[in-house]
Amino acid sequence: MKEALRKFMSKFDTFTQVEINAIVENTKLGYFKKGTVLLREGEVCNTCYFVLSGCVRQYQLVDGTEKTIAFFTEEQPAVLYASYMGREPSKHYLSCVQDCLLTTGTREDEQKLHEHYPSLNYLIHNLMTHDFAKTQEHLSSLINYSPEERYQDLLKNQPGLLSRVPLHQLASYIGVTPESFSRIRKRILVKHQSKSRLE
């Protein structure tokens, strides 16, 4: 199971092979079945997850309806920073959309690893920066794009989600009802078919 983590860390030239092996051996991993709720609203996020395989969803309950905020897939951290860093009750849920292989580290675990391997700070900084940028881009799309443009953006930047995530969750993610999502998909499919015939 740890080979996926070793392969990921080998992409960075900031670590020696000795460091990679040591970090991998001292990192906890967990296998979680599809549907497992990792964190519930009101709980403190004490664990930082990192996705080695599978898909984790962040969502919020609004008047009893699930509103999807984000999806985390391979080589992405799945953590609610405000709760994790501030030790405050979470306003969101984290759950496994698919069977998942995740690293599971607490702040104490991270601190020990960082003390022994300072190069980890570089990796964590990169991951957090990328995660923050992704969140900003999604928020911007919800404000500035039409529903059809948001779907097009999903096709362009996260096409793999279409085969991994239930459609009603994707609809929530781009801010439309499942019915609207279905109509948008049909319209775009018809446009592509018409374009293909013209070419």
**For position 194, what pLDDT does the model report?**
63
Phi first, then psi, for residue 183 (nearest 5°) are: -65, -40
Phi first, then psi, for residue 29 (nearest 5°) are: -125, 150
pLDDT digits (tens, 9 = 90+) for 19-45: 999 999 999 999 999 999 999 999 999
Q: Under CATH, domain 3-141 is a member of which superfamily?
A: Jelly Rolls (2.60.120.10)
**For position 192, what pLDDT does the model report?**
66
Q: At what angle do helices 147-157 and 178-198 cross, to 10 degrees?
A: 70
Residue 198's pLDDT band, with cuts at 50, 70 and 90, is low
For residue 164, which of 7, 88, 80, 51 has the smallest C-alpha distance? 51
Q: Mean pLDDT throughout 94-122?
A: 90
For residue 188, which of 131, 142, 136, 148 has the smallest C-alpha distance? 148
Q: Mean pLDDT throughout 49-77?
A: 94
What's the whole-model pTM score? 0.88
**Beta-strand relationship, 93-96 and 65-72:** unpaired
Least confident of 13-17, 58-62, 98-102, 187-191: 187-191
Residue 95 has pLDDT above 90, yes or no: yes
Domain definitions of the chain by residue range: 3-141, 145-199
pLDDT digits (tens, 9 = 90+) for 120-177: 887 887 887 887 788 788 888 888 899 999 999 998 889 999 999 999 999 999 999 9
Residue-averaged pLDDT of the chain: 89
